[in-house]
Amino acid sequence: MSGLLGGAPVTPEEQRRNNGHRHGWVLAVLGVLFVYLYCFTHIDRRLGLPAPQDLAERMGIRVDHVFDSDRNVDSEIHVSYNAETYSNDDERMVLFLGVGVAFVLVYYLPVAWKRQALLAVTVVLAVVLYGWAGIALFVAAHMGVYLILHPGLGPRPGYAALAGFLAGSAMVSKSGGMLAVMYGTLWAAMGAAFYRFVVLPGLGVPRLASVLRVVAVQSAMIVVFAGAILNGLGGGEWSLPLGVMLFFWNWERLMMYHIDHQDGLVPEDIPLDRYLGVFLSPGTIPNWNWGVTIGQGYAYVENNFLAEDKNHLIRKGLQLYGVALVYIVFGDWGHEWLVKFLRSQDLYVFHRVKNLSRYFANGGEVSTPTVLLTTFIDVFRWMVLWGGVVHFKVGTWLVCGYKCDPYFNRPWMATNLVTLWSRFTFHYREFLVRAFYYPAFFAMPKVARSVRIVLSTLAAATFGNFVWGHMSEAFFYKRIRFESLLDILPTWPYFVLIGVGISVSELWLLRKKRLRRKPWTLDKWLPLDVLAAYGTLQFYGLIHVFFYRHDGGSTWNDTRLFLIGFGIHL
């Protein structure tokens, strides 16, 4: 767990030492990216190669749930929120080629230029994939945060003008170039004046400054909650422009950045490009809204760049790319195979927990094995799908020179819920711990340690996870409507149960005498590891009956389904 607490700062000398070239690794990365291009895009047509499915069939391989209708491999890696300009396959082609260009540049450029190059390539890539207006608004929003967190004169009023220009021109970009320039110029002047004569004096008042900083960092939450409540009071429905949507998906990492800022870890005079580099890296582009906490805040990104020999990092990145490929190609196939196999053994399972919930809510009867197996294999389905995408994202951070911890680390090896949390969603867990656990933990030093631990865990795993983790996502996925809030509220038992489960595991870990024996050692205790891992995963799977619930169902119905998992039929 090298990145626990974000890692220690790395010196420029260490970075230079870790920058030795080995061209073989470059070829290996480009080779693996070509495999991705071949499997998941239409590059076979451009190069006159057989399609992946044709090639597989020529080799006598015929499998279901691997290929899609255009005869290449079905993929969960995609470019989110953009279905206007390209097909998914075209977008992926741009993405993989862009990652390749970024990698070659970051590998061969001098250390001083590497991160600027990553930022530049990411911006170009984002412009190609999302359009100029989307990224202009995204960058303008981040510049606003930068100017509030790091106020001053010098170039900053100029940055305010640039942010105004980007925002103003992006908003009328569809009306033509000349109007966009005029509108942008007007906004640039207003932006610079507003910053110089309103924001800067406001930031000079300590209390107002801290309010402004919180508003900037929490803007996503403020907007979606205000919009939903106004909608509930009879107002219209707010829709977000693409650039704002992309910016809002950075809300958790913005909070991490703000925590680093409060802890004095961010230099006050940080240049704009270094700030933007925290949020714009090639690893953020694929599945923009998945694993959004990868990269965390400033300290993690800063302390982990070239913190290890870049060729070692590439080796780790290639391993993740390889595992991601297996998960993405065979995940669906494995899930379908499991369902068919269990059904052939007269064990009825549903494909998804949602289907099970719907069937039960409509009066169907289900057995304990059905509940346990369905919830268990649905966790497997989601883990493989999720693991494939986040491995690709972390792999991209690694090959680009960041010593980034895997987001997903064989969660089926977890023998308790604390370890599962860490193995399943490492960076998200770090967000919840830093943003909610530690503040609660250090706010009550005088209470009994078990109470302190339980309340801190509930603050993170239940409250933070529910409100900041999932409630806001519900608005982004289901639109900013009051109904979205009503849809997510009944899932509260899931968050309470996971918080209670993790609390109990933590207390047990703290009280039991730690053993020299590591889990999964080949000895007589191995069956206990298997049992503990099964119990952990099964509990985690089972509580999803409260999360993937039937829309018309009730909490009582979900509870009955949950209890059937324990053999209790009410």
Partner 1 sequence: MADPADISRRIGEFFEAEFPRSDAVLTDTTDLLRDWLVDSAGIVSTTLFLESEFGIQMRRADINAVHFQSIRSLTAYVVGRLANPRGK
CB of 50 to partner 1, least distance (A): 46
Alpha carbon distance 315, 356 (integer Å): 42
Q: Least CB distance from residue 504 to partner 1, whole Å?
A: 12
Name the DSSP letter for residue 416: S
Question: Which range touches partner 1 (CB under 8 A), out of 99-107, 165-173, 438-446, 561-569?
Answer: 438-446
Q: Which of 189, 209, 223, 265 binds partner 1 (CB under 8 A)?
A: 265
Span 408-437, contacts to partner 1 by CB under 8 A: 418-419, 422, 429-430, 433-434, 437
Lookup result for tokens 């089926």: 412
Q: How far apart are CA 83 and CA 141, in angstroms?
A: 23
In this complex, which beta carbon is closest to partner 1, that of residue 56 or of residue 509?
Answer: 509
The C-alpha torsion from 240 through 242 and 244 to 248, rounded to 10°, is: 90
Using the contact rule CB under 8 A, the part of the chain among 51-59, 71-79, 269-277, 442-450 near partner 1 is 442-450
Residue 514 CB, nearest approach to partner 1 (Å): 6
Give the integer Cα–Cα distance in Å for 420 and 456.
18
Q: Could you say which residues in the range 280-299 bind partner 1, by CB under 8 A?
A: 299
**Whole-angstrom Cα distance, residue 499 to residue 507?**
12
Looking at the Cβ atoms of 6 and 388, the one nearer to partner 1 is 6
Q: Is the dihedral of CA 323, 384, 463, 440 positive or negative?
A: negative
Subset of residues 465 to 524 that bind partner 1, contact rule: CB under 8 A: 506, 509-510, 514-516
Return phi, psi of residue 402, to 5°.
-100, 130
**What is the Cα–Cα distance from 148 to 212, expressed in whole angstroms?**
7
Whole-angstrom CA distances from 180 to 74, 127, 560 are 39, 17, 58
Site for partner 1 contains 461 (CB under 8 A): no
Q: Smaller CB distance to partner 1: residue 32 or 460?
A: 460
CB of 452 to partner 1, least distance (A): 8
Q: Give the CA angle between residues 312, 316, 320 to the nearest 5°.
A: 165
Q: Which of 20, 177, 445, 552 binds partner 1 (CB under 8 A)?
A: 445
Question: Which strand (E) or helix (H) includes residue 449?
Answer: helix 449-457
Q: Which of 2/362 has CB closer to partner 1? A: 2
Residue nearer to partner 1 on the CB measure, 419 or 484:
419
Backbone angles phi, psi at 175, to 5 degrees: -90, 0
Q: With b meaning 16 or more CB within 10 Å and e meaning fewer, what string describes 139-166?
A: bbbbbbbbbbbbbeeeebbebbbbbbbb
Q: Is residue 7 close enough to count as binding partner 1 by CB under 8 A?
A: yes
Query: Whole-number minimum distance, CB 262 to partner 1, in Å?
Result: 8
Task: Out of 20, 176, 177, 264, point to the residue binding partner 1 (CB under 8 A).
Answer: 264
DSSP E strands: which ranges in 437-501?
A: none
CA angle at 540 for the pair 539 and 546, rounded to the nearest 5°: 95
- Residue from 441, 468, 540, 546 touching partner 1 (CB under 8 A): that is 441
In whole angstroms, the minimum distance from the beta carbon of 556 to partner 1 comes to: 34
Residues paired with 67 in a beta bridge: 73
Query: Is 453 an interacting residue with respect to partner 1 (CB under 8 A)?
Result: yes
Residue 449 binds partner 1, judged by CB under 8 A = yes
CB of 327 vs partner 1, minimal distance in Å? 24
Which phi and psi angles does 436 have, rounded to 5°? Answer: -125, -45
Smallest separation (angstroms) from partner 1 to the CB of 429: 7
Would you say 58 or 512 has its CB closer to partner 1? 512
Contacts of 469 (CB under 8 A, 6+ apart): 252, 428, 432
Smallest gap from residue 513 Cβ to partner 1 (A): 8
Q: What helix, strand, coil percent values describe the chain, rounded to 5? A: 70, 0, 30
Residues 230-259 that bind partner 1 (CB under 8 A): none
Work out whether 439 is an interface residue with partner 1 (CB under 8 A). Answer: yes
Tell me the site size for partner 1, rule CB under 8 A.
35
- Quick one: CA dihedral 326, 329, 332, 333, positive or negative? negative
Q: Tokens in use for 141? A: 């929003």
Nearer to partner 1, 93 or 454 (CB): 454
Nearer to partner 1, 252 or 430 (CB): 430
Q: Smallest distance from the beta carbon of 423 to partner 1, in angstroms?
A: 9
Q: Provide, rounded to whole angstroms, the least separation between the CB of residue 295 and partner 1.
A: 16
Q: Rank residues 233 and 448 by Cβ distance to partner 1 and give the closer one.
A: 448
Q: Could you tell me which stretch among 45-53, 212-220, 439-447, 531-539 binds partner 1 (CB under 8 A)?
A: 439-447
Eight-state DSSP code of residue 73: B
Between 357 and 419, CB nearer to partner 1: 419
Tokens of 69: 């209708």
Q: How far is the CB of 505 from partner 1 (least distance, A)?
A: 8
Token pair 């703000």: residue = 258
Can you tell me the distance from the alpha carbon of 11 to that of 296, in angstroms, rounded to the nearest whole number? 20
Polymer length in residues for the chain: 570
- CB of 250 or CB of 503, closer to partner 1: 503
Applying CB under 8 A, the residues found at the interface with partner 1 are 1-2, 4-9, 262-265, 299, 303, 418-419, 422, 429-430, 433-434, 437-439, 441-442, 445, 449, 453, 506, 509-510, 514-516
